[in-house]
Amino acid sequence: MHLAAYLRETMPPTLIVLTGPPLPGRWSLARALERRLGARRFAVAPESVALLDIMRALAEPEACVLVDGDLATREARSEILELGDEHSERVLVEWRCARKEAEREVFHRYASRPRVLASAELERYVEDARARQPVGDEACSSVAAVAVGPEQAIDEQVGRVLATLREPRDPPAERAEPERRVMVVEDDAEERALLADVLDELGFDVEQAPDAGVALALLDEGADVELLLSDQNMPGMSGVELARTVAARYPRVRTVLLTAYSDEDMCRRAVEANAVTVLAKPLSLIDLERVLDEA
C-alpha cells in the first residue's frame, strides 16, 4: 500500500469547522484547539474563504485542519465541510453566545465602547433564533456537530470538541511558542488602552506609544516588536510617514494603519510607504484578527 494511503487510513485527515460570533471567547477556543491538536488553523471571513489552501492542507498525511470564522449560514459552513472526502473526519463546532453574554464579554470584559463592536455587529452575529441557522442539520454519519459556549470553562469546551473525534489525537510535542510583540501607536488614550487590552487577550505582548515620535524613540532604544498598529491622523508625524520611516530604519518591523478617513489616495500612499494594509475605524474585530494572523 502507498505510504500516503496507509497514513490516511491509520489517521484520517481531520477537518474542524468552528463558527460563531466574532468575540474573544471563540478565538480563545480556536487557539486552544490549535495548540491541543497541533492543527493548521485558517481564520476566515465569509467573503474570503481560502478554499484551495484548505484543500491543500487536508491533502497532507495525518492532516488536522481548523477553520475558524463567522460562517453563520448552512451554505457557508457546507462549502468548507464538503472539502473533506469520505475518508476525512469532519466536526462542526458552534460557539454559541446569547446577546446578554455577548454584551457582558464585550462591554464588561474590555470596558469597551459600542464603536469597537457596534450594536449592528452584535445584531448580525449573536445568536438569534429567528435569524441564525444553528448547527446540526448538516450533521450526518460523516459530519459530527457539537455546540459549546462561554458558560463552560475553556478546558471543558475543548474536551467536548475532542470527545466528538472518532480517532483521538495525541497532543503535539511541547515546544516554546514564539512571543508575538506589537506596538499600538495612538494619540487617543482610551482607544490605545482598549486596543492594547484586546491584543493582550489575543496573546500578544503589547507596547504602547502616544505618537509616532515616541514609537520611533522606543524602537531606537531597542523595543523588540514585529508589528506596529498605528493611527493615521496624529499630532506631528502621520501614520503613513511613520510607516515609511519604520520601513527604512527597521525593515523587519511591519506596519498596519488604522483610520476613520480612508480614501483611494490615502491607501495608495500607505502601500507606497510599505504598510501591510489599512483598517477602517471603527475596527471590526474579526478583520483585525485576520490581519494579525496574516501579518
| 278 beta partners | 257
Q: How far is CA 186 from CA 55, 112, 229, 235, in A?
A: 40, 16, 8, 10
Q: Which amino acid belongs to residue 66?
A: L
- The DSSP string of 49-87 is --HHHHHHHHTSTT-EEEEEE---SHHHHHHHHTTS-TT
The pLDDT tens digits of the residues spanning 55-100 come to 888 888 889 999 988 777 788 888 888 887 667 889 999 988 777 7
User: Alpha helices of 163-278 — where are they, by DSSP H?
Assistant: 189-201, 212-220, 239-249, 264-272
Residue 169 falls inside a structural domain:
no
Residue 175 falls inside a structural domain:
no
Q: Give the 3-state secondary structure of residue 203.
A: coil
Percent of the chain with pLDDT over 70: 76
| CATH code for position 262 | 3.40.50.2300
In this structure, are 157 and 229 located in the same domain? Answer: no
Mean pLDDT rounded to a whole number for the chain = 77
**DSSP 8-state secondary structure symbol assigned to residue 45:** B
**DSSP 8-state secondary structure symbol assigned to residue 48:** B
Residue 62 falls inside a structural domain:
yes
Q: How confident is the model at residue 204 (pLDDT cuts 50, 70, 90)?
A: confident
Whole-number Å distance between alpha carbons of 37 and 29: 12
pLDDT, position 53: 84
31 close to 102: Cβ distance less than 8 angstroms: no
Please tell me the number of Cα atoms within 13 Å of 286 on its side-chain side. Answer: 21
Q: Which domain holds residue 142?
A: 3-162
Q: Which amino acid belongs to residue 134?
A: P
Q: How confident is the model at residue 7 (pLDDT cuts 50, 70, 90)?
A: very low
Threshold 0.85, pTM exceeds: no
In this structure, are 14 and 136 located in the same domain? Answer: yes
The pLDDT tens digits of the residues spanning 223-256 come to 889 999 999 988 888 999 999 999 999 999 999 9
Q: How confident is the model at residue 207 (pLDDT cuts 50, 70, 90)?
A: confident
Nearest to 61 by CA among 139, 141, 6: 6
Cis amide prior to 172 (ω within 30 degrees): no
Residue 283 falls inside a structural domain:
yes
Residue 194 falls inside a structural domain:
yes
In this structure, are 39 and 135 located in the same domain? Answer: yes
Q: How confident is the model at residue 136 (pLDDT cuts 50, 70, 90)?
A: low
In this structure, are 141 and 7 located in the same domain? Answer: yes
Residue 136 falls inside a structural domain:
yes
In this structure, are 222 and 145 located in the same domain? Answer: no
Percent of the chain with pLDDT over 90: 15
In this structure, are 58 and 16 located in the same domain? Answer: yes
In this structure, are 158 and 185 located in the same domain? Answer: no
In this structure, are 186 and 151 located in the same domain? Answer: no
Higher per-residue confidence, 116 vs 148: 148
Whole-number Å distance between alpha carbons of 20 and 29: 11
Cell 531597542 maps to which residue?
A: 222
Neighbours of 279 (CB within 10 A): 17
| CATH code for position 21 | 3.40.50.300
The answer, yes or no, to whether residue 114 has pLDDT greater than 60, is: no
In this structure, are 153 and 258 located in the same domain? Answer: no
Q: How confident is the model at residue 4 (pLDDT cuts 50, 70, 90)?
A: very low
In this structure, are 234 and 156 located in the same domain? Answer: no
148 close to 29: Cβ distance less than 8 angstroms: yes
